[in-house]
Amino acid sequence: MSLTVSGSQASTIDSVLAPDSPEALSISLPADRNQLAEQIKLRRIVVLGPPGGGKGTLADALAADLGICHLSTGDVLRAEVKSGSALGKSLKEIMDRGELVPFQIVVDIVVNRLQQPDCAKGYLLDGSPRRVAEAEALEKRLAEKHISTEIAIDLQVPDSDIQARLEGRRLCPKCGAIYHVSFKKPRVDGKCDLDGTALIQRSDDNASVIAERLKVYHQETAPVSGFYESRGLRTAINARGSASEVEALVLKILWRPDVFGF
């Protein structure tokens, strides 16, 4: 099965904000990242985009630069299971049965996590909301706590790029380091740079599984973009470039939203 970029999808991506757009090029980020972190205007951020679109990489980099917390829903759920709490035990049963965790539980856990001290300066949410109903529940619960998402960064990457990124991805089973056969090669072919362990391919990083994940994304998760769009919070960006180019663009938007008409 081959995935090609449809004309409409390609032109959509070409027309969204890119790292080399005139607005982005008109801004030079301060070299002093501490100074930048203090001046950042938008700090409560939802990162949207397809699987393999670079959400986790972007959120990790931004969280480190801005001193805000990065909540990856998968990590948050795994931490709850590991804690051995009553909730963690019931989550483990659901996940062991291979079922999706009901979104009400995800929202509860995420909202609790967002009220911890490390999230006081802001947050990056990656991996949820995955459905419109979940987005509605999340924002309603946050509003009750007087917290509101300030921007939804929507990473636009064509399906054909995602296919190439995910199929070439290799993982170190020991330390979790991620490599790519074309874009991020290890120093020694097939071995982790950090510990020499033989790299593996995740079982769900193959063409047919990726095509299925993209189909689910377009049907169920992509409408979440519309939810944030209707609230005037969505900014779509062209995320086909390198991770550092994408991060620089997002930092510019968070620092000078006025320049981008936001």
Helix extents (H) in 98-171? 103-114, 132-144, 159-167
CA angle 223, 148, 157 (to 5 degrees): 35
Q: Which stretch binds Zn ion (CB under 5 A): 85-93, 96-104, 188-196, 208-216?
A: 188-196
Confirm whether 202 is a catalytic residue: yes
* Residues 189 to 208 in contact with Zn ion, rule: CB under 5 A: 192, 194-195, 197
Confirm whether 89 is a catalytic residue: no
Complex with Zn ion: residue 120 or 175, whichever CB lies closer:
175
User: Which residues does 68 contact at the CB level (< 8 Å), separation at least 6?
Assistant: 43, 45, 62, 119, 121, 122, 123, 124
Complex with Zn ion: residue 173 or 223, whichever CB lies closer:
173
Sheet holding 44-48, edge to edge: 69-72, 123-126, 44-48, 151-156, 234-238
Confirm whether 130 is a catalytic residue: yes
Q: Which residue has the tokens 């205007």?
A: 41
Closest CA to 167 of 156, 157, 175, 159: 159
Query: Least distance to Zn ion from the beta carbon of 192, Å?
Result: 3
User: Whats the size of the chain, residue-wise?
Assistant: 262
Active-site pick, 44, 165, 213, 240:
213
Query: Least distance to Zn ion from the beta carbon of 193, Å?
Result: 7
Query: Least distance to Zn ion from the beta carbon of 179, Å?
Result: 9
Binding mask 137-176 toward Zn ion (x if CB under 5 A, else -) reads -----------------------------------x-xx-
Active-site pick, 43, 169, 234, 256:
169
Query: Least distance to Zn ion from the beta carbon of 49, Å?
Result: 26
CA pair distance 137, 131, nearest whole angstrom: 10
Active-site pick, 44, 130, 170, 240:
130
Confirm whether 213 is a catalytic residue: yes
Residues that bind Zn ion (CB under 5 A): 172, 174-175, 177, 192, 194-195, 197
